[in-house]
Structure 1
Amino acid sequence: MALPRPADIPSDLLEEFRLDTADNLPRCEQLLIELERHPQDGDRLRELFRLVHTIKGSLGYVELNHLLPLPQAMEDVLERLREGSLQFDSLLGDILLLSLDQLRQLIDAALGLALAPEPRQIASQCQALQALAAAPGAQQTEIRRTLLLHLDPSTRLQPVEVGQGQLQQLLERYGIEAEVDLRFFAELMNAGEHRSPFWHGRGLRLLDLALAMNECAGKPVEPNQLAAAVCLHDLGMAFLPLELLHKQSELSREERRQMQSHPRQASELLKRMPAWAGASEIILQHQEHADGSGYPKGLREGEIHPGALILNIADTFDARTHERAHQTLSKRPRLRAILEINSLAGLQFSAYWVEVFNRTLHERPELARQP
């Protein structure tokens, strides 16, 4: 459904409004991502409140008054945060990110650039945000979970079992022969996924996204080598204690050492199979960062195998969307994961491959919605 454009507002004023919101909304999203790491940062919270207030004021200025309830409801929540009567956490951050995305859709629809969300859904969302702002602390967690599922039903975790037929179809889609070695690697991947119920289906998601990114870029990496690397890159993780894999508090030095040893372990196994030298190198380097801050060798982008640069992004995207699973039986919104990856372009990730990642999800949006 399209929303009517304001009839008497000059087109140059509407264009100025569009440009301003195009700047302000991404900054709001970035502040929410930063607040998760710094939840007590009053300066960031004040800036976020000011920007939402500015967007609300601009909506009134261009007579888009019917859009005001959503930013007003968000302001109510942010005001409670500023007062200290609400506490910022990852659930609330996800809710506000999704609310900003809805606000962007509403503005685009009002400017004739998109279809509007269902009005009853927006009205319900505004009421829920206001209820969240007014709710006592004891009810906050349950209300936040319920509201998140209302905003993005895909965050509910569903059990996934992956069969050999699905794997065969996926490999064929990318022109990869399911030879005996690859079938063996896939069996090891499936066995590793059964180490934790929250890993089920992870390998197939990674394979699809990594191979799609490689194809989108013109296949600079041999697809069979990339597929082998995806299958085996986290094999070493399966031998770590589950309490370490699921730990949410800060890791000790020894625990960090154990976690960071996994690329070398899987890479060493493949070194016994010379035909898979490319996959071995990808695995060894998949935790290296474009800016040199990764491990095990602290390589910079120009020294890192392109397959490892692809796998780092695909692996992080899946981890970000599913990182909350063992706590709440829910996934994180894909919007947050996409924003986080883009915010780290040129730092953890290759800026070039982040652009390929964005293009791949634009061309194949179903890759971001896999269970």
Structure 2
Amino acid sequence: MGWEFPSIAWTVVDDVKRKFVEGFLIFGSDDHVVYCLRAFDGRPVWSVETGFKVRSIPFGLGHRVYVTSMDKRIYCIELKDGRVKWRRRVYGPVLGSPVSDGKNVFFGDVAGNLYCFDARLGRKRWSLKIQGSIAATPTVSGEKILIGACDYTLYAIDKEKGKILWEFKSDGEILGMARVDGEKVYFASMDGNIYCLDEKDGNLIWKCDLEAPIEGSMTMHKGNVYAVNVEGFLYSINELGEVTWRKELGYESLSKPFVEKGVVYIGCRDFYVYAYDAKKGRLVWRVKLGGEVNSTPCVFGGKVYIGCDDGNFYCIKDGEVCWKFETYGSIRSGAFLYCYLVDESVGQHVKYVRHGLSWVSKEIFGFKFK
């Protein structure tokens, strides 16, 4: 009995009782390859070779996966077989990840261009040139795109026209992804501050000094912000901009924290992956891998999926390695995860789509074997 990727039936609104069936992990490596693995055992499904290092987190939309590369291209790949549907060349190498609003794909390059491509056909709808290089991943918020740049500025851009709506100047480069929670925008800067802005006009609400530059992305969970500075301190900050706890990792981390069921997961350059209690900052477990851990973790069903500079992609549960998959380059790309589950209450199959950035969607699928 073989696997056949199913087709969409409708969208789930409420949580259901679920049983894990199968999952697929898509990530890139410095060996220039995009990989798709089975989440259960790490067995390879397909791979696609690009022209250079892949440091972005892939983004899935329907049965297609979008991934950017430092070869100055974006790739649209069929999830079921790894066939490249289209690829487009842009002006500069791409470090940030692509994101989508369901019909368009948005990303920036280090030459300072923000792009909007039609997701289905790959036609460029618009591009916008700004003053600084773009290493960050865009954020889609309603009719806006939010993107930070190396000119110290966070931009809010009309996603249909590609026109700047407002901009906010920090005192350092903005290398990480902004987050939107309600009517507020949060981002980290190399000036060492976490900023909270009004999403409508970009006015400052508060900023919190973490005492050292913040090179990676921050994350949010239930109104709290979690971020790591370059001196290796992990912070928890409440919705008022107050530090509730901090923990010393000991080494710098480029990994973006990931929060799941009250636990903060983070990789570090001391070769460890850490799990901390999100409320109190208590260490739950840590595990040592074979190299620096600079990629963003992806967590599902109690398992942590994360790449390492030793070239291996790891699956970890409760501080123990379940399996690892070897590539031929450092892995600084986070993973995108397709999960297929059974709704035991009605006997239907649910697809959860997740990556290291956030939940993307919850969809019910028809389910077929061949």
TM-score by length of 1: 0.26
Query: Which structure's residues are more often strand, by fraction?
Result: 2
Name the TM-score, length of structure 2 as normaliser: 0.26
Q: Return the structure number with greater helix share.
A: 1
State which structure, 1 or 2, has the greater radius of gyration over its C-alpha atoms: 1
